[in-house]
Amino acid sequence: MTTPHPPRPIPHLRWWIAALLFASTVINYIDRQTLSVLAPFLIAEYRWSNTDFATIIIAFRIAYTVMQAVSGRLLDRLGTRRGMLLAVSFYSAAAMLTSLARGLWSFRFFRFLLGCGEAANWPGATKAVGEWFPDRERGWAVAMFDSGSAIGAAVAPALVVWLYHGFGTWRAAFLLTGLLGWLWLIAWSRLYHPPATHPRLAEAERRLIEDGQSSRSTNRAPRWSSLLAMRQTWGIVSVRMLLDPYWFLMSDWFAVYLVQKGFRLEDTLIGFWVPFLAADLGNFFGGGLSSWFIRRGRPVLDARRLTFFLCAPGMLAMAAVAWLDSFPALIACFALAMFAYAACATIYLTLPSDLYPNHSVASVSGLSGTGAGIGTILSTYTIGAVTDATRSFTPIFLGASAAPVLSVVLLLWLVRRPRR
């Protein structure tokens, strides 16, 4: 009788895991951006105001806000593999069901369901990075998965507009983009296991991961009350609460802004993706720069904070948009602002895996996502109300420029290495 051979190790398996996390983020963003790209068509068809459209986004945000903390806790309890399988199955189904929407309330309902499922992506991806990567590589790994948001946002306009015109209905766009998550689930179920039990992880790579981690696993996740008693938790939550709305101003409202500025959406596709590509580059710049500082001997947290401090001023470029009408100049300012934002986002998304044991990472990431959700709900309603009242995005862009200044102050003040 022949003894079966053990499966052969996969070289650099941790980076294949990072590629899967990147793909999940791309799909996550294509699903949510489908509505934003179709917004000008839906607003015209249903005669919605910007405030009406804002309530659909808010329905998503309410679910996303609550479920960030809940899903983070569930991921720490269920484990990354099972938690992500459940989340992606749920939000892919919700994305496809949006094709059945009939009006304002049904759009709100289906977007609420989408938010419930999509909330798990960032806590789950952050937790997976904490499990699979040594400290010096985490910035790169977080940059890789978080860059999927920019890629998804850049791909979505051309894909969704093509589906809309190709099939003659916006319903096809929701249905077909929702299928992508089911393909991802096949790959995830085959490839992902924790490093300690993965049958195809080489022993040398396992030792590299374990020896390079300063944050170790604990037996169980601590209570939320214990996490909230730490000042660095409040620092991570408050920084993300300020800066996530900055990103969603761009991803949720960019198409609406361009149309109200007098541009045809189809005519802007060649430049529409540029700020999102800049965000993608910013993710890797932030992760790479902090890793460079770590390799040259700086403590991990010092490297992250210095990178954030150097990159945050670039976000002030958004204020210049208020005085510009040239499409290339607008795109250039948005691109610089998004580059700087994404570099900083890589830092605050990496911090939970730097500062907390593995069994707490998803919980802290989820809490920060809940804080971000609260900030985004408030900002989304404000954007709808202000732009309806003034017929201009200028007050919004000027107000958004205060966020990077406050975030630098809070990061330097609150986020410090905890006493052990």
Residue 312: its pLDDT value, please?
Answer: 94
Give the helix, strand, coil percentages of the chain, each rounded to 5.
Answer: 80, 0, 20
* Highest mean pLDDT (candidates 36-50, 168-182, 244-258, 355-369): 168-182
DSSP codes joined into one string, 11-35: TTHHHHHHHHHHHHHHHHHHHHHHH
Dist CA 227 CA 351 (whole Å): 14
Q: Over range 132-137, report the average pLDDT.
A: 86
> What's the pLDDT tens digit per position in 377-413?
888 888 888 888 888 888 888 888 888 999 999 998 9
Dist CA 76 CA 420 (whole Å): 21
Percent of the chain at pLDDT > 70 equals: 94
Provide the whole-model pTM.
0.75
User: What does each C-alpha distance from 141 to 251, 286, 342 come to in angstroms?
Assistant: 22, 11, 14
244 or 150: whose pLDDT is higher? 244
Residue 292: its pLDDT value, please?
Answer: 92
pLDDT at 55 over 60: yes
Lowest average pLDDT, out of 7-11, 164-168, 201-205, goes to 7-11
Could you tell me which of 365, 300, 377 has the C-alpha nearest to residue 138? 300
Dist CA 59 CA 377 (whole Å): 9
Residue 7: its pLDDT value, please?
Answer: 76
> Tell me, what amino acid is at 15?
W
Specify the 3-state DSSP secondary structure of 230.
coil
Dist CA 192 CA 17 (whole Å): 7
User: What does each C-alpha distance from 61 to 84, 198, 373, 377 come to in angstroms?
Assistant: 20, 35, 6, 6
Helix axes 13-46, 203-211, angle to 10 degrees: 70
| C-beta atoms surrounding 295 within 10 Å | 10
Dist CA 208 CA 354 (whole Å): 17
- CATH dotted code for 13-414: 1.20.1250.20
Radius of gyration (C-alpha) of the chain in whole angstroms: 21
Residue 328: its pLDDT value, please?
Answer: 87
Lowest average pLDDT, out of 12-21, 83-92, 161-170, 181-190, goes to 161-170
Using pLDDT thresholds of 50, 70 and 90, give the confidence band for residue 370. confident
Mean pLDDT for all residues in the chain:
86
Query: What's the length of the chain?
Result: 420
> What's the pLDDT tens digit per position in 228-271?
888 898 999 999 999 988 888 887 788 778 877 877 766 676 67
> What's the pLDDT tens digit per position in 309-341?
999 999 999 888 878 888 888 889 999 999 999
